[in-house]
A = this chain, B = another copy of it.
């Protein structure tokens, strides 16, 4: 099969021919329909400092946001059969540690990530642990299924670790409108937010946030986003801030636009340490900073399925490009261009550079 692989601990990747893998006893073999490109994949292609430190295994196929059809199952797999169309939960949990045993497998103490720690999905076939294969039900377009994983990030960040009760009827500020931020705008909107304020410097992305339902758009290069949020809220601040940028300055601004008693979900990954005014922005306001990673297994997948299958959230504005696997370089360039939403590689030959129907 063809697979897009990191072959060296340096920038670049190679599309090579390798053996179709064989699933282990508790694994399934999936023929990949779509595999979308994540910021992490860009980092691995470019082999930035994070990739250099984090990735131990080279050569390795990368890519992890994936959906496709089960082709074969291992001997210990009893609940899935060949033919099932599945999307991948990419957090591979041990099932035995304390967090796994208390329903929080997504922060497993022994966590591995598909396509980062294990052979990934930019290939014609991928092997998944059977427990990581989520059966995609009716009402979700097959082409869209590979984005259930990053959409799930947005869902989990929006609900937070509580129940998202602060979203309904609250003011929600989304900082950073890459694809996950765009999704978060749509999720917050569908859960009854009073007002969704999207903060994003890139014109294209800000426009996409508007298409996803943002009530207010803020270009932080033109307007101070803290001022903008305070003005929109009569100085009270936003009940919820969804931090998707990973920008240290934006995170600090996030604390400053937060209402008393507010909650900031931190999902964007800053590339170094972050300096905060805890006194005035967190302690006296009794604000809450909540780290968010992955998706709750599998509450978030149920929520994701509901939001997508009912059309409560229409992600079509975000799915901007599809490419066949051999045009991977174009796909990565498009992802990096800043003028794209989600870009999907279609290793089964169904992809093209047209927008999805």
Contacts and interface: CB of A to CB of B under 8 A. Distances in A.
Interface in A151-185: 159, 161-169
A163 B161 contact: no
Interface string A281-293: 0111111111111
Nearest to A248: B278
A286 to B, nearest CB: 5
A261 interface: yes
Interface string A261-304: 10000110110011111110011111111111100111101110
Contacts of A161: 261, 286, 288
Interface in A134-153: none
Contacts of A302: 98, 101-102, 169
A286 B291 contact: yes
A194 B103 contact: no
A262 B277 CA distance: 21
Given A76-B25, A165-B163, A168-B168, A273 B275 contact: yes
Contacts of A25: 76
Nearest to A25: B76
Contacts of A301: 101
A79 interface: yes
A249 interface: no
A75 to B, nearest CB: 8
A275 B278 contact: no
A306 interface: yes
A286 B279 contact: no
A250 to B, nearest CB: 12
A291 B298 contact: no
A13 to B, nearest CB: 25
A191 interface: yes
A274 B255 CA distance: 13
A168 B191 contact: yes
Contact of A293 (B95, B236, B284): B284
A276 to B, nearest CB: 6
B290 A279 contact: no
